[in-house]
Structure 1
């Protein structure tokens, strides 16, 4: 497989400086602030337009591959013959060596913005029911490790510290953060993570996903597609996300802030509580 660029950065700015009017305690002052870049990337598969993703313009190869894998369009990297990203045109063109599962009856063209995206039912689209499987990984984690992993994820997200305008996702063992990705779209951050795993053939067994946002049903489904048995998030889950987590055997940990957190589903993976 060939790609147009080597990895991070893509030659595009991740943030820009803007002159702002700041108000504090009754007084206005003029300051400069750093704001995150939004970049529109249109994905084509075998010359057929699939979607436009609004993203942070780094690790775009990971983003495209993770998105296609998450959508069930590709099942292994052997299918990807070529991936060419044009940062000037804002396009990602993927060519596969075999026919792919890309039926317009199931993959309607849609615009995937940097916010939450469209609401769905238990499985949003046809492909979710075929790509989100039950996770039987027996991975375990201790409370102190939950706290440490969230601290490491926050420390790794340098673009968040500069702009405050991105989400972060991390692939971890219970002992440490191994890989992190950031993006203005929370689902994009997870797709970048998944894309790296998918491209490298990495085994997710024994790993944990740490996430800076809330646990929506879409986020939970992406974790399931990666095959992680535990997801840790800084914010709250939704009821639908928890229903999916119960069904797919995923341990969900939310409100992981400071020294505390909530365990919502499958607490048997979290050591030290009265039930273990």
Structure 2
């Protein structure tokens, strides 16, 4: 079964000068069950594109796996009312599955829905390295504008988020879209893993505000820089500081704010022989 990324639907547009029938392209969302070793761990609403990337990124960013070698088999299975992303993992990952268990469906705006306890919401984060990574001011200032060139579904519907991966001097090398901002980031995380690209070699760029689950996912993957067009929450900023993440917000119009660990961003990148 094919699930389209968008559908054209009819509505009535009411404006000051009258009303008229309009046809709008609207993004689709489908239920995606993430299944590990026969047990459903999460049901998330997501855009039905790049779902293998999404499932692998979710498994990595939620700590269910730490490396793709722990996956023995993976398949996407269509159902009339959604899809299943089925993983069969090495037996030693059973404890990790139980530790990050989720019990309920997560709507598109929810990044922590259904976790078993408050302790899991405030999980310990690893210290991020990347001490040698350096971005120029120009890299950061143009990041969100560059991401706009990788958003065909948003151009069609004006209703999706995007996440991208930025490398110094190379721009956005990879991007994914979704109705949920955390889903978009998981898709990028999965795509990087499947392509063999180390998240420590660049920065995640988001079209949304920065909430705690985005910082958590960034830290777990060891990406050292997180950039967004909008603001962070105070909780997210405290977590970024503690984890060693360079957090950049309000990156638009050629400017940006740096809120933590600014050493990775310098006015000019020196020439290194």
1:97-123: CA deviation from partner (whole Å, max 9, x where unpaired): 333134546524132210134489xx8
1:3-56: CA deviation from partner (whole Å, max 9, x where unpaired): xxxxxxx83200000111112334222111110001101121111111101101
**Alignment correspondent of 2:135:** 141
Runs of 4+ in structure 1 displaced over 4 angstroms?
none
- For residue 98 of structure 1, the aligned residue among 91, 113, 117 is 91
Which stretch of structure 1 is more off in the superposition, 180-189 or 105-114? 105-114
Conserved in 1, the CA contact under 8 Å of 2:36 and 2:97?
Answer: no
Between the aligned partners of 1:95 and 1:86, the Cα distance in structure 2 is 14
- For structure 2, the 5+ residue unaligned runs are 269-273
**Structure 2 counterparts to residues 222-241 of structure 1, below 5 A:** 222-241=217-236
**Alignment correspondent of 2:271:** none
Conserved in 1, the CA contact under 8 Å of 2:212 and 2:239?
Answer: yes
- For structure 1, the 5+ residue unaligned runs are 1-9
Q: How many residue pairs align between the two structures?
A: 260
**Alignment correspondent of 1:153:** 147
Query: Do residues 81 (structure 1) and 72 (structure 2) align?
Result: yes
Between the aligned partners of 1:147 and 1:96, the Cα distance in structure 2 is 41
**Alignment correspondent of 2:22:** 31
Query: Do residues 177 (structure 1) and 168 (structure 2) align?
Result: no
Query: Do residues 55 (structure 1) and 50 (structure 2) align?
Result: no
Q: TM-score, normalised by structure 2?
A: 0.88
Conserved in 1, the CA contact under 8 Å of 2:248 and 2:257?
Answer: yes
Residue 205 of structure 1 aligns to a residue in which SS? Answer: helix
Residue 99 of structure 1 aligns to a residue in which SS? Answer: helix
Residue 251 of structure 2 aligns to a residue in which SS? Answer: strand
Q: CA deviation at 1:167?
A: 0.8
Q: CA 1:239–1:84 in structure 2 vs 1: closer, same or farther (change >3 Å)? A: same
**Alignment correspondent of 1:5:** none
Q: CA deviation at 1:127?
A: 9.1
CA RMSD of aligned residues (A): 2.2
Q: TM-score, normalised by structure 1?
A: 0.87
